[in-house]
Structure 1
Amino acid sequence: MSADVRDLVKRFDGRVVLDGIDLTVRRGEIVALVGRSGSGKSTLLRVLAGLSDDHTGEVTVDGTPTVVFQEPRLIPWLTVTRNVELGDPQRRKRSATAGARRVLGEVGLQHRLDAWPLTLSGGEAQRAALARALVAEPTLLLLDEPFGALDALTRLSMHDLLLRLFVEHGFGVLLVTHDVAEAVVLADRVLVLEDGRIAHRVDIDLPRPRGHASPDAAVYTTRLLELLGVTDRQPQP
């Protein structure tokens, strides 16, 4: 097991943001969180990452959780390798450098080891951020809209990369996304948050790899959109 949450309650200025959340993320599975803005998705992820401790309930995370945000958050005056080294919890220079170079090879950036962050494309920068998370050898990978700012083709290549790393490393993944189709393509199950509660759970019973345009995936996407209150609207004449 990577993470277990029981009866989690989180308040901001007296307002309940997370209301009695129960959630389990196991190693070797991808769980996606979808919901409207303000439903509590990113707040839940931050609690699991240890970035927010003002809550009640039980939160257990085995091993090391690491986070990848929508913005890569690379330090511009450090090379790509040095940025990735910062993710090594030991930070022993020789081993950190070796580990950084290893994971940069895993994400396809072996040719950009000494590059400066501002010279990277959007996809390269997000690959570097992913490498920085991987160097800590996490049991739980927390992804907060990591592909939201990428163009469509780069996003698809990042989906393929994530799934390959997921199979190779066997960590658990909690993915926060606004893209329902992305959740269907990547996740084993999708949780719909409404007003700080898990309102719906949809298990994605499809083999990987899955295509966005496949009829089977489209059925799940339509179902989730309906649960989110989004229906197809015909153009007005």
Structure 2
Amino acid sequence: MAARTAELTEHVAEVRGLARELGGRQVLAGVDLAIRRGEFVALLGRSGSGKSTLLRAMAGLDNDVEGKIEISGTAAIAFQEPRLIPWKRVLANIGLGLRGDVPLERARAALAEVGLDERADDWPLTLSGGEAQRVSLARALVREPALLLLDEPFSALDALTRISVHNLVLDLWVRHRPGVLLVTHDVDEALLLADRVLVLDDGRIVHETVVDLDRPRDRLDLTAPRASILDRLGVISEEPA
């Protein structure tokens, strides 16, 4: 079982030597990772490479890991599926676990931040996919986490909604400044959003690209790092010569 502490200063999260075996296969084989306060990190890897396993361990949802996980403050997670409770209204979903009148106001403020304050009394099943994901993000951020973990939260959205939610996440990140770890399969998404892009392979982080560009970013400026990451993932780039 991984040891978990909360004694960091500069870093909001630090993982050292994290290992996990699933079904006789070594999914994580000594992962080392540090995320600074206010840093946006994206994690790429082939299907089954252990990205979500690492994320779940950092969220405290998987205790069958070995190594060390240090988190400064609280961590919150948003998944690919919003996982809203269908028999609770939208505001109640955001306020899950909060107590008293002040937390209720915090939940209303979080809902307003994602542009859905008028949907507070609606049922989750009446929301579109993009709206449900916005509610999921509000639920994660209402506790002002030091570390925000995002497990492919955009993958089920259509292209236009995805761009809208990308912009929302960046806006919320600028306002709240948590450390962020985004798990994604989308290289372009990682490069457009993150300060650093990491590649997980054979249970370890084997590649890092620092994206030192202002946002919003032009895809043409990302051609070289995109080709490098695709090569590390074993994918032939289709960029024109």
Q: CA RMSD in A?
A: 1.3
Give the aligned residue type for 2:79.
Answer: F
Q: Secondary structure at the match of 1:115?
A: coil
Q: How high is the TM-score relative to the length of structure 1?
A: 0.93
Runs of 4+ in 1 over 3 A off after TM superposition: none
Return the alpha-carbon distance in structure 1 between the equivalents of residues 21 and 226 of structure 2.
Answer: 31
Q: Are the structure 2 counterparts of residues 233 and 110 from structure 1 closer, same or farther at C-alpha, using a change threshold of 3 Å?
A: closer
2:221 equivalent among 216, 223, 227: 216
Q: Aligned AA for 2:24?
A: G
- Cα offset, 1:92, TM superposition: 1.2
- Deviations 1:172-217, CA, capped at 9 Å, x for gaps: 0000000000000001111101121111111112111113xx3112
User: How far did residue 124 of structure 1 move?
Assistant: 0.4
Question: Residue in 2 aligned with 1:110?
Answer: 117
Q: Give the CA deviation at 1:56.
A: 1.4
Matched, 1:168 2:175: yes
Match of 1:6 among 16, 23, 37: 16
Where 2:63 maps in the other structure, the secondary structure is coil
TM-score where L is the length of structure 2: 0.92
The number of aligned residues is 229
Q: Letter of the aligned partner of 1:8 in structure 2?
A: L
The yes-or-no answer on 1:140 pairing with 2:147 is yes
In the TM superposition, what is the alpha-carbon distance from 1:232 to its structure 2 partner? 3.7
8 Å contact from structure 2 (residues 13, 71) kept in 1: yes
Q: Distance in 2 between matches of 1:115 and 1:2?
A: 35
* The one of 128, 131, 151 aligned to 1:124: 131
Q: % of aligned pairs identical?
A: 59
1:67 aligned partner, one-letter code: I
CA contact (8 A) 2:231 2:237 kept: no
Distance 1:67 1:232 in 2: 32
The verdict on how the C-alpha distance between 1:102 and 1:125 changes in structure 2, with shifts beyond 3 A counting, is same
Q: 1: CA distance between counterparts of 2:229 and 2:134?
A: 29
SS in 2 for 1:137: coil
Separation (CA, whole Å) in 2 of partners of 1:62 and 1:15: 31
| TM-superposed deviation, 1:218 | 2.4
The amino acid across from 1:185 in the alignment is L
Q: Which runs of 5+ in 2 are unaligned?
A: 1-10
Q: CA–CA distance in 2 between the matches of 1:137 and 1:205?
A: 26
Amino acid at match of 2:176: H
The corresponding residue for 1:38 is 48
Residues 86-112 of structure 1 show CA distances to partners (whole Å, capped at 9, x for unaligned) of 1x4xx2131221111000001111111
CA distance in 1, matches of 2:116, 2:237: 41
| Structure 1, unaligned runs of 5 or more | none
1:95 aligned residue: 102
- Find the aligned partners of 2:204 and 2:120 in 1 and give their Cα distance: 43
Provide the rounded CA distance (Å) in 1 between the counterparts of 2:171 and 2:237.
33
